[in-house]
Structure 1
Amino acid sequence: MSERTVMADSRVVAQLVLTLSDGSVAESTKANNKPALLTLGDQSLSPKLEAQLLGLTIGRQHKFSLAAEDAFGASNPNLVQYFSRQSFLEAGEPEVGTIMLFGAIDGTEMPGIVREVSGDSVTVDFNHPLAGQDITFDIEIVDIDPEMEEQNENLTG
């Protein structure tokens, strides 16, 4: 049997450590041993991030850096919005750094980070928390296309 490799439409289970340019760890799945599930080809990952994953095999560790625009995107000032403090009456007093869910016009929910509370104004940032940051990725591939094994079990069971 040939070894499975990450391809353009793979679902990948991986341990990730994301480090900022100042050396601080922004995210680590290893810290709580909860690997991430990454789906290639569904536009959830940047093209340059996907390109770094292609061809990797189970057990392979790969460390690389991406500029902000190639990792989680540049910070978009249009995604920083201002709300009246009155908008938060039901949710409670907004605190800087709190991530809250906001209802979008289409009925979906979007997470936003409270960046500033000043007088009656609350500033909320809907950018990805790591947008605008250069990131070093340290990725270890744990499994590739894990759902395929489940489907095979279902067929035989």
Structure 2
Amino acid sequence: MSETTLTIEAGMQVTLHFALRLEDGAEVDSTFNQQPATLTIGDGNLPEGFEQHLLGLKAGQHETFHVAPEQAFGQPNPNNVQRMKRSAFAEVDELVPGMVLSFADKAGGELPGVVKGIEGDQVDIDFNHPLAGRTLVFEVDILEVKPITVQ
């Protein structure tokens, strides 16, 4: 079977260009003006809601999909907005709404938080994914589909 006739399924290696946009056309990420991305379907590196749109496609196909928040980064969770004391940000010169700050999670990893609001000595930090609650437009240009080869 030639590689051009293979369809994307779990365990396949796919090389593609992609663009991720908001519904208003604002671009979030794209490889169309750079090197294409190569990924393995089913390895967990691409959210399942995006991966499912690739299944069954073949090299040479160019498609655009709308991905609902539930299949992308979910709906915002109000429990992910935390109120903290202003004194916890003593090392930050000026806090402004919309500013992204880095926090350490329980495992010691990096967790971004967005300053949602400031009231007196209280600061609200939103730990929801910045794209939570957004319907996204996922455009793909499939360049190559091939089985994974074990070296």
Structure 2 unpaired stretches of 5+ = none
| TM-score relative to the length of structure 2 | 0.76
For the residues of structure 2 that align with 1:100 and 1:36, how far apart are their CA atoms? Answer: 28
Q: Which residue of 2 is the match for residue 93 of structure 1?
A: 94
Amino acid paired to 1:18: L
Comparing 76-85 with 45-54, which one deviates more in the overlay?
45-54
Q: Which residue of 1 is the match for residue 22 of structure 2?
A: 20
For the residues of structure 2 that align with 1:66 and 1:74, how far apart are their CA atoms? Answer: 13
- For residues 45-102 of structure 1, give each alpha carbon's deviation from its aligned partner in whole angstroms, at most 9, with x where no partner exists: 4433221011323443211112211121111111111111111112443222222210
Q: Which residue of 2 is the match for residue 115 of structure 1?
A: 116
Instruction: Please give the residue correspondences for 1:116-155 in structure 2 after superposition, counting only pairs within 5 Å.
Output: 116-142=117-143
| TM-score relative to the length of structure 1 | 0.74
For the residues of structure 1 that align with 2:118 and 2:38, how far apart are their CA atoms? Answer: 35
Task: Check the 8 A contact 1:16/1:27 in 2, yes or no.
Answer: no
Root mean square deviation, CA, Å: 2.9
For the residues of structure 2 that align with 1:49 and 1:28, how far apart are their CA atoms? Answer: 14
Q: Percent identity?
A: 39
- Structure with more helix by fraction: 1
CA-CA distance at 1:110 after TM superposition: 0.8
Q: Which residue of 1 is the match for residue 107 of structure 2?
A: 106
Q: Which residue of 1 is the match for residue 72 of structure 2?
A: 71
Match of 2:97, SS state, is coil
Count of aligned positions: 149
Task: Check the 8 A contact 1:29/1:36 in 2, yes or no.
Answer: no
Structure 1 unpaired stretches of 5+ = 153-157
